[in-house]
Amino acid sequence: MSGIKPTGRHQEKRLTPAGARNLGPGFHADGQGLYLKVDASGARRWVQRIVIQGKRRDVGLGSAALVTLGEAREAALQQRKLARAGYDPLAAKQRSKAIPSFEEAARQVHAHNEGGWRNEKHRKQWLSTMEAYVFPHIGARKVGAVSSADILLALDPIWTRRSETARRVKQRIGTVLKWAIARGYRTDNPADVVQQALLKHDRSNVKRMTALHHSEVPKAIATVNASKAFTATKLAFSFLVHTACRSGEVRGALWSEIDIERLVWVVPAERMKAKKAHRVPLTPAVLRILERAKALRREDADLVFPSARGTTLSDMTLSKLMRELGIAAVPHGFRSSFRDWAGDETGHPREVIEFALAHGIKDKAEAAYARSDLFEKRRVLMSDWSDFLDTATK
């Protein structure tokens, strides 16, 4: 192993990016206490040898595979300056590691308070709403690093759709952040700032159309298809519009639910709003979308529209894409566009249209005699809808 500290006149920036990549095992000096440590296994990491409060310490600056030579030099320089001012970067790093994630903090808050909540429903909902709406977005972030933008990301999808739930979730987020302030993990509560932003957003949403006129839907599809969005996202959007299904039903679609031979997609009850399995006829246009989706399929994976990481697309993905492209609607709004088109432009019976939207029959007497889901009639309806969308885009 080479020497730890070279003799002779002190030099700075001895290493070069190319040279650092080719160095063998050892402790290689760059200057200003910065070293590249190369293990016998070939693993490389940056280490800074520095005097902190009178004691020599070794501070890790990260893997050389992730931190460039320039970044390591900059970090080393900043730490030297802080050390001269009496700051202990190692102690700060240890404190940072001790800060829990938002999810860990929330579960601690829940465990601490649930004994005092008399309402069993409240005890369950407090945590279940966090699991459903918050943890997927910010659960892994350190509770001290959660920002107002993070909170908006979690609340924005449900603020107008489930306003009362969103208000309660915001309140619960604020409670977790107050807990973090009390323990010294942070000094502010960004949940307080979010309220005004969401209220403003809420008013603007009331004024804006959340659904396009059916004549504008084909243009929206063309806009999404021409965008630089991830392919699976674009396909999921087209699939959602052509099938008039809900976002969650589409994003969670599995190949095992689709029968190409029988031209049907069966959405299981647990993913349906009414908790009843729903058969969706596959039109030629939908089959073309699925054919393109096959190219994205990973080995032993079942998701039809996987994210870039192979997971289910988040509920924000389509909404965010539409906002970025200036499409004045929300994903759910295309069901309204379909409903208006079917009612205004076609002679299809009302019950066929309602079944296509997986709407239950409100009249109990009528529902008692409804033994069929009108599948073949719905197939004709959905084919007409797909034809309208495809013809209008040509």
Q: Using one digit for the tens of pLDDT, what is the confidence trace for 131-157? A: 999 999 888 888 888 888 888 888 888
Residue range(s) occupied by CATH 3.30.160.390 in the chain: 17-97
Q: Residue 305: pLDDT above 90?
A: yes
What pLDDT score was predicted for residue 279?
95
Question: How far is residue 92's CA from residue 199's CA, in Å, rounded to a whole number?
Answer: 38
Q: Residue 88: pLDDT above 50?
A: yes
Q: Residue 370: pLDDT above 60?
A: no
| Residue with the larger pLDDT of the pair 211 and 209 | 211
What pLDDT score was predicted for residue 84?
76
What pLDDT score was predicted for residue 7?
53
Residue 225 backbone zone (phi > 0: left; psi -120 to 50: alpha; other: beta): alpha
Give the model's confidence band at 379: pLDDT under 50 very low, under 70 low, under 90 confident, else very high. Answer: very high
Residue range(s) occupied by CATH 1.10.150.130 in the chain: 102-207
If DSSP states are collapsed to H, E and C, what string results for 302-318?
A: CECCECCCCCECCCCHH
Q: What is the pLDDT of residues 152-164, one digit of tens each?
A: 888 888 887 787 8
Question: How far is residue 109's CA from residue 302's CA, in Å, rounded to a whole number?
Answer: 37
Give the model's confidence band at 241: pLDDT under 50 very low, under 70 low, under 90 confident, else very high. Answer: very high
Q: Residue 1: pLDDT above 60?
A: no
Among candidate residues 257, 225, 262, 259, the one with its CA nearest the CA of residue 242: 225
Q: Which of 89-103, 269-283, 313-327, 362-376 has the lowest mean pLDDT?
A: 362-376
Highest mean pLDDT among 176-190, 225-239, 378-392: 225-239
Both ends of the chain: CA-CA distance in Å?
A: 69
Mean pLDDT, residues 369-376 taken together: 68
Please give the full DSSP string across 155-188, using - where no structure is assigned.
HGGGTTTSHHHHHHHHHHHHHHHHHHHHTTS-S-
Give the model's confidence band at 360: pLDDT under 50 very low, under 70 low, under 90 confident, else very high. Answer: low
Per cent of the chain over pLDDT 90 is 37
CATH superfamily of 102-207: Tyrosine recombinase, N-terminal domain (1.10.150.130)
**DSSP 8-state symbol, 31:** E
pTM of the model: 0.49
Q: What is the pLDDT of residues 270-292, one digit of tens each?
A: 999 888 899 999 999 999 999 99
Give the model's confidence band at 51: pLDDT under 50 very low, under 70 low, under 90 confident, else very high. Answer: confident
Burial string for 84-119 (b: 16+ CB within 10 Å, else e) reads eeeebbbeeeeeeeebbbbbebbbebbeeeeeeeee
Residue 348 and residue 342 in contact, taking contact as beta carbons nearer than 8 Å: yes
Q: Residue 180: pLDDT above 80?
A: yes
CATH superfamily of 17-97: Integrase, DNA-binding domain (3.30.160.390)
What pLDDT score was predicted for residue 163?
79
Q: Residue 198: pLDDT above 70?
A: no
* Helix boundaries (H) for 68-185: 69-84, 89-98, 102-113, 120-129, 135-138, 148-155, 163-182
Give the model's confidence band at 173: pLDDT under 50 very low, under 70 low, under 90 confident, else very high. Answer: very high
Q: What is the pLDDT of residues 347-358, one digit of tens each?
A: 999 889 999 999
Question: How far is residue 386's CA from residue 334's CA, in Å, rounded to a whole number?
Answer: 13
Highest mean pLDDT among 98-107, 108-117, 378-387: 378-387
Give the model's confidence band at 385: pLDDT under 50 very low, under 70 low, under 90 confident, else very high. Answer: very high
Ranges of beta strands (E only) in the chain are 26-31, 34-38, 44-52, 55-63, 258-259, 264-267, 278-281
Q: Residue 117: pLDDT above 70?
A: yes
| Residue with the larger pLDDT of the pair 365 and 238 | 238
Main-chain dihedrals φ then ψ at residue 57, nearest 5 degrees = -130, 155
Report the mean per-residue pLDDT for the chain: 83
Among candidate residues 306, 301, 257, the one with its CA nearest the CA of residue 277: 257
Domain 214-392 indexed as CATH 3.10.20.30? no
User: Sign of dihedral through CA atoms 72, 76, 82, 87?
Assistant: positive
